[in-house]
Amino acid sequence: MIFNSLLIANRGEIACRIIKTAKKMGIRSIAVYVDADKDALFVTQADESIRLEDGGYLDSNQIIEAAKKTGAQAIHPGYGFLSENASFARKVKKEGIIWIGPSANVISVMGDKLKAKDLAIKADVPTLPMTSKPSEAKKIGYPLLIKAAAGGGGKGMRIVNKEKDLKESISSAQREAKSGFNDERIFIERYVEKSRHIEIQILGDSHGNIIHLGERECSIQRRHQKIIEESPSTRISEEVRNKMGESAVKLAKKIKYESAGTVEFLFDDNTEEFWFLEVNTRLQVEHPVTEEVTGMDLVSEQLKIARGEPIGFSQKDVTWTGSSIEARLYAEDPNNDFLPEIGTLIAFEESDSAEARWDTGVKTGTVVGTDFDPMLAKIISFAPNRTDAASKLAKALQSAHIGGVKTNRDFLINCLNTEEFIKGDTTSDFIERVNPSRKLEIEEDEIDHVLAIAALWIQQNNRDNANLAKFMQSGWTNGRLPMQKITFEFENKEHIVEYKKQRNQKFIFLSDKEACIYKKDNDGIDLIFDGKRHYSRVTLSNNNILVHMPFGDVMLKVKPRFKEPGTEKTIGGLVAPMPGKVIDIKVKKGKKVKAGETLVILEAMKMEHSIKAAEDGKVSELLISINDQVENGALLMVVK
């Protein structure tokens, strides 16, 4: 089953990742894309691209037609979208195209978490108590975890602490599961509060060989989605690792697994018990950390297995070296419950002062919309020990120049720098328990430094672009003029910067601090301010100026001299915290509401978000209808 052309039925960073290995192996890569992705990185990196009509990445017929049209001999589904769709896998094979992944039957069985649990029990793999009947929830005992039977990625998942919340949580989980997987079935299992999410990477071939490549720990999650993963786990002993690996291989053999896959387990940090959760019949987002510590290319292994080749090594040949940590960079606002953000990336420059692997599908100028998952990139570090791996990852994040859309970057850095993370105290309650700062912590003198850089870069930039009197030195005058003044906004607070250029070419600020410019170019400025000197990358877009500092990026807004009309806020107005679709309205005009009561449910990126009342009141205006598409900040209703 030799093939030399491969269609990637996916987008973004995973499409770029697959293309990279295809090129190494001399395989022609073909991308499919929708209009929203017409300028995306993966489209330009592929050897050939085919535009998809309505239905896009979920339209299996269009994708197969694209494969036929381009002569693609194989299809790689990546993850998400159709990667765990058994019907799609069957269609691909029926058309005589090689499917990169396990058989449709395995996908079907393992994609149904209820059937997967039954198989795990038959394979003598430990599982958690569960039920698919809400009436039996009380027997399991609270807290409970509701899960979608047909998928993962945090969609359709809810923690329920009290019986009174069960009904609404089930309804919400079912809607989200229906939207994400076209299957509203859910099940309920015991929720283990102090736990770790441990997964075992497996490989299986068509010759009956199945091995595991060790574990990954993916315990640090927000909204039930992973944000930091690592290999190996700091908590798993060699004995437990061997037991988990044996359990994973035993289950994989029972279903005759082929290709790369992941067997996920829940590990109780107190008792060291572990239970089977699910099998992901695809490549995982976090697969790079396994690649880093084993030295293997998992996409390459997938392609070789699909060609019918036996795995080229045995279990005893697998070794693990050093430590690797991955952080997922998302377009989201950690200070707004990690809700997705949209906008245009005015800068996306990887770090040039810290060694790290960047798996990304975006670039400067990429528009981040509501159509897809808000992940921008995965940044992966590797070092001989975990402490250095954590430091390298934090430095890589900190020294990158990224802006235009709010991200979780500063939150990730703060997580990596906590004492708890360094010690490996990374149970699934990490974010709630440790509560790392969700933003860049910046001192007053550091703000002054940023403001000075922004003001002088703008002053020099205006001078560079001036059409008159260019022969004069900047700031020259034969009279006594007042200080130059510019107003910025940072974190909803106005900052007025006043400065004047002296005859010695230095700039003096109202605070009596001095600055001297050594060099200025289109990309940034090298200056000394209050005795501190460094080169700052600077990006200006409309009224926003992004300044890179040694401690990270700071976004300032250049305030206009006069207030813009139409910017007044409505008293009592409830606004959308993100762009999305209105899928449910819980109140009517004239209804009294209580603080904390759910008023509206929005859907964004296939996830549900409940908008709640901030205080007691009465709905005086209702400005939306079900199925409306609303922008971030749109007025939904007025509660007085």
Provide the annotated active-site residues: 282
From 377, 201, 359, 205, select the one nearest 282 (Cα to Cα).
201
H helix intervals, 164-211: 166-181
Q: Give CA–CA dist 31/180, Å, rounded.
A: 23
| Residue 36: φ, ψ to 5° | -65, -20
Half-sphere exposure of 533 (CA within 13 A, CB side): 9
In contact, 99 and 254? CB cutoff 8 Å: no
Q: How far is CA 163 from CA 174, 595, 597, in A?
A: 17, 21, 17
Residue type, 345: L
Ranges assigned E (strand) in 357-396: 357-360, 367-368, 375-383
Residue with tokens 């003096």: 508
In contact, 50 and 59? CB cutoff 8 Å: no
Residue type, 391: S
Q: Give CA–CA dist 41/16, Å, rounded.
A: 7
In contact, 284 and 199? CB cutoff 8 Å: yes
CB 502: neighbour CB atoms within 10 A? 11
Bridge partners, residue 495, by sequence = 488
For the chain, give the number of residues: 640
Token pair in block for residue 399:
């020294």
- Spatial neighbors of 447 by CB under 8 A, at least 6 apart, are 490, 495
Q: Give CA–CA dist 407/374, Å, rounded.
A: 9
Q: Give CA–CA dist 334/227, Å, rounded.
A: 12
Bridge partners, residue 580, by sequence = 630
Q: Give CA–CA dist 599/294, Å, rounded.
A: 50
**H, E, C per residue of 315-340:** HHHCCCCCEEEEEEEECEEHHHCCEE
Residue with tokens 């040694």: 550
Bridge partners, residue 601, by sequence = 584, 610
First to last CA, the chain: 68
Give the rounded distance of the alpha carbon of 128 from its chain centre. Answer: 28
Residue with tokens 């009279």: 479
Give the rounded distance of the alpha carbon of 340 from its chain centre. Answer: 10
Give the largest CA-CA distance in the chain: 91
In contact, 272 and 195? CB cutoff 8 Å: no
* Cα-based torsion angle of the residue sequence 549, 555, 561, 562 in order, rounded to the nearest 10 degrees: -170
